[in-house]
Amino acid sequence: MKIRLNQKNIPLFATIAVFFLIYAIGGFMYSGFFSLRVFANLFIDNAFIGIIAIGMTFVIISGEIDLSVGSVIAFIGVLLASLVHDYAMHPMLAILICLVFGALFGCAMGCLIHFFQLPSFLVTLVGMFLARGLAFLLSLNSIPIKHPFFEELVDFGVQLTRKVWIPSTAMVFVAVFILGVYLSHFTKFGRNAYAIGGNEQSAILMGLPVGKTKILIFTLNGTLCALAGVVYSLYTMSGYPLACVGLELDVIAAVVIGGTLLTGGVGYVEGTLIGVLILGLIQTFITFQGTLSSWWTKIVVGVLLFVFILLQRYLSSAYSGKDMRSEETASDQGGQASAGATKEASR
């Protein structure tokens, strides 16, 4: 039992090792890389990615996927900006409306996935189109956000040292992270999510509230997306309908690099935090390097994603004690056969 648990943790340890490796290389190559300020900036610049990545961790742990996050952020940004700028609404109320919208959006997608047995990939793809389209409908251009309340929000923060300052957005990220850790380890909701991802059939047979949990997971994810949208618009002080194209891939990459198994059932919110920080480090590294073009980020992220997926494959076959090949075919067939079974049953 103890060995199995340790093996489950290997991806997490590998992630932490990679983080320190990149951090160490950066520190030796460039002066100032080790400073607290650079480290704090990791949290500030990646706050919005981190907030969604934590929602996405729950979605992936339960064996589903959400492709709509980038578009939802863009839509929330535009909605917030136009409510404040065009309708002169108080930002507090506007932010509340945004969060409620995010929750409803996520809840609707969860309902479609659960009640009509549609694949989550398809439903969230539609969500992606819809959110982006709605954002375009609201405005085609970038809308600036100018409101004293917003400036206060942005200026609100804690001065750690003379040079290091933690703004409210980074604090929101840390708060969401703590909430995620609490939900995943200490609540029924978290345990149900793991159980559904591990084996949905077993979860149903055990009498767990599968449907309710799934819908709740998507509602949580939608709310966190909206929150990330608010944080993002605080970060850029504007709402832009073309913002965050392709962000969902970065988020999924962060979750996978953080050691969450894509087949569901295994993963940690803590790992996701490290995954997000690794993405941030790669970007910082490339900024410090100066001559590398920014699209190297994408290539490095792709390579890291590949390495971690290979690691996951190797480990998941290692702990079942069988040889790799037979495990592969078995797990493949397990997934597809059950999909086939539901299809047959529905005919």
Partner 1 sequence: MSLKPSFLQNETTAKLIWPLAALSAIIVFNLLFTPGFFHIEIKDGHLFGSLIDILNRGAPVMLVSIGMTLVFATGGVDLSVGAVIAISGAIAAHIIRPDYVKGVIEYGEVAPLIWVIGIPLLISLVAGLWNGMLVAYIGVQPIIATLILMVAGRGIAQLITEGKIVVFIHEPFQYIGGGFLFGIPVPIVLVLATLVVTYLLTRRTALGIFIEAIGANPKASLYMGIRANVIKVAVYMFCALCAGVAGLIICSDIKAADANNAGLFLELDAIAAVIIGGTMWGGRFTVAGSIIGALIIQSLTTTILTRGIAPEITLVFKAVVIICVALIQSETFRQLIAGHLLKKEAGK
Write out the residues near partner 1 by the rule CB under 8 A: 65, 112, 115-119, 121-123, 125-130, 132-134, 136-137, 140, 245-246, 249-250, 252-253, 256, 262-263, 293, 295-299, 301-303, 305-306, 309-310, 313, 328-329, 331-333, 336-337, 339-340, 343, 346-347
Nearer to partner 1, 32 or 133 (CB): 133
Query: Which CB atom, from 36 or from 324, has the smaller least distance to partner 1?
Result: 324
- Six-digit token string for 4: 């199995």
Cα–Cα distances in angstroms (integers) from residue 177 to residues 77, 102, 173, 269, in the given order: 22, 19, 6, 7
Long-range pairs for 178-183: beta carbons < 8 A, 24 or more residues apart: 179/54, 180/54, 180/57, 180/58, 180/269, 180/272, 181/269, 181/270, 183/58, 183/220, 183/269
Nearer CB in complex with partner 1: 95/300: 300
As a dihedral over the C-alpha atoms of residue 249, residue 251, residue 255, residue 261, rounded to 10 degrees, the angle is: -30
Cα–Cα–Cα angle for 105, 226, 167, nearest 5°?
170
Q: How far is the CB of 50 from partner 1 (least distance, A)?
A: 18
Q: How far is the CB of 173 from partner 1 (least distance, A)?
A: 23
Given the complex with partner 1, which of 33 and 75 has the nearer CB atom? Answer: 75
Largest CA distance in the chain: 67
DSSP 8-state code for residue 158: E
CB of 195 vs partner 1, minimal distance in Å: 20
Distances (CA, A) of 209 to 192, 204, 236, 346: 8, 7, 40, 21
User: Which CB, 65 or 243, lies closer to partner 1?
Assistant: 65
**At its nearest, how many Å lie between partner 1 and the CB of residue 63?**
11
DSSP 63-116: T-----HHHHHHHHHHHHHHHHHTS---HHHHHHHHHHHHHHHHHHHHHHHHHS
Q: How far apart are alpha carbons 345 and 6 in whole angstroms?
A: 39
Nearer to partner 1, 190 or 241 (CB): 241
Q: Which is nearer to partner 1, 29 or 299 (CB)?
A: 299
Shortest distance in whole angstroms from residue 39 CB to partner 1: 25
Dihedral of the alpha carbons of 167, 173, 179, 183, in degrees to the nearest 10: 180
Q: Which is nearer to partner 1, 154 or 262 (CB)?
A: 262
Terminal-to-terminal C-alpha distance of the chain: 42
Report the candidate in 160, 170, 189 with the shortest Cα–Cα distance to residue 273: 170
CB of 145 to partner 1, least distance (A): 21
Give the nearer residue to partner 1 in terms of CB position, either 174 or 262: 262
CB of 113 to partner 1, least distance (A): 11
Nearest Cα to 212, choosing from 196, 227, 229, 225? 196
In whole angstroms, the minimum distance from the beta carbon of 67 to partner 1 comes to: 9
Q: Report the amino acid identity of residue 151.
A: E
Residue 179 CB, nearest approach to partner 1 (Å): 27
Token pair, residue 114, equals: 């659960």
